[in-house]
Amino acid sequence: MSEKHDSRYTMQDTGYGIKKIVHRASCIMHRFCLLFVSCFLLFIGCGGPSAPTLPAIHAQAIEYNQNAAKAAEKGDYEKALDYYMEALRINQSVENTGGIAINLINLAVIYQKQGNISEAEKLIDMVFLIPDINDSMKAEAAFEKARIFLKEKELSKAKEWVNKSLALNKGIREGSRWNLLGRIALVEGNYSEALTAANTALKLNSVNKQKTEEANSMRLIAEIRALTDKFEESREAYMKALEIDKESGDSKKIAVDLKGLGDIFLKYGRLQDAVNFYIRAYTVSRTDEDMEGASKAAESLADAYRKSGDDKKAEEILKTKMPLDKKK
């Protein structure tokens, strides 16, 4: 009897334990459900449109602008021009002055890449006719104007417009303005002024993390050093420029750096080194389908062979250069 009583008591006790566990489990479940519902409501509350969406027409213009940028990056300038024109047309139809200015500048940049300087100049002049555009945009347009004047060898005007650009807005693009000033001074033959500008540009571009322009500063320094017979400094500067350009993956600039290195080695009579750099420059240009760059490298290579007394090889190289000139 006593045993029976004991066992019943134990069973009841176990039943009570199970009830307790079930109760605790249901409490945890309740809490979890509450937490889930609260989180859900919180997320729903935070959801919905984050910011007012762009009007469809602006979004369309931006889409054209971005497609143009992609085409330009691939080197398809004709397509880029078409897209920028369409973006410009849409922006003009709603008188979006900011969009108009951006697309005019972009078109001018593409025309310059194609060598159509007069068209580029017309477009940049139109930017200055737009009312209510900010100084940063005006500074960019002034910089483009200076680049155009430099291409036209109108050095004083080019300098005047770079200075205008600097006066309007400095910002992170200040280094590029100094680079351009340095290049103008180099063309003028004023090496010390060019070097000062290049060094200023180098500092600014390094601080502002403008890699392409930093490489441009290094290349400019290398060119000035080469012209002032500082072989080792020139070589070092070219090597740094090459390193940055390789990081950026800019084939045209890589080829220019390699050719520059070839030029200084040729100047100092290290013909085999010069040949090696020219061959590298030629290979980069050829694989990038930059016929102009490849032709220049081939010409320099032929020159190097001729100077080393191998006229036959020089002739062979010049023969391979001819079809490149046709394709330019």
Q: Considering only residues 269-328, where is the footprint of other proteins by CB under 8 A?
A: none
- Candidate residues 138, 253, 286, 321; the one interacting with other proteins per rule CB under 8 A: 253
- Candidate residues 71, 105, 133, 261; the one interacting with other proteins per rule CB under 8 A: 105
Task: Yes or no: say if 181 and 220 are a contact pair by the CB < 8 Å rule.
Answer: no
Is residue 221 near other proteins by the rule CB under 8 A?
Answer: no
* For other proteins, the closer CB: 48 or 131: 48
Size of the site for other proteins (CB under 8 A): 53
Compute the least distance from the CB of residue 106 to other proteins, in Å.
4
Is residue 102 near other proteins by the rule CB under 8 A?
Answer: yes
Task: Yes or no: say if 254 and 240 are a contact pair by the CB < 8 Å rule.
Answer: no
* For other proteins, the closer CB: 62 or 155: 62
- In angstroms, rounded to a whole number, what is the distance separating the alpha carbons of residues 97 and 93? 10
- Candidate residues 71, 86, 112, 274; the one interacting with other proteins per rule CB under 8 A: 112
Is residue 212 near other proteins by the rule CB under 8 A?
Answer: yes
Compute the least distance from the CB of residue 86 to other proteins, in Å.
13
* For other proteins, the closer CB: 179 or 234: 179
* For other proteins, the closer CB: 99 or 303: 99
Using CB under 8 A, list all residues that contact other proteins: 9, 12-13, 15-16, 19, 22-23, 43, 46-51, 54, 59, 61-63, 65-66, 69, 72, 87, 98-99, 102-103, 105-106, 109-110, 112-113, 140, 143-144, 147, 173, 176-177, 179-180, 183, 201, 212-213, 216, 219-220, 253, 256
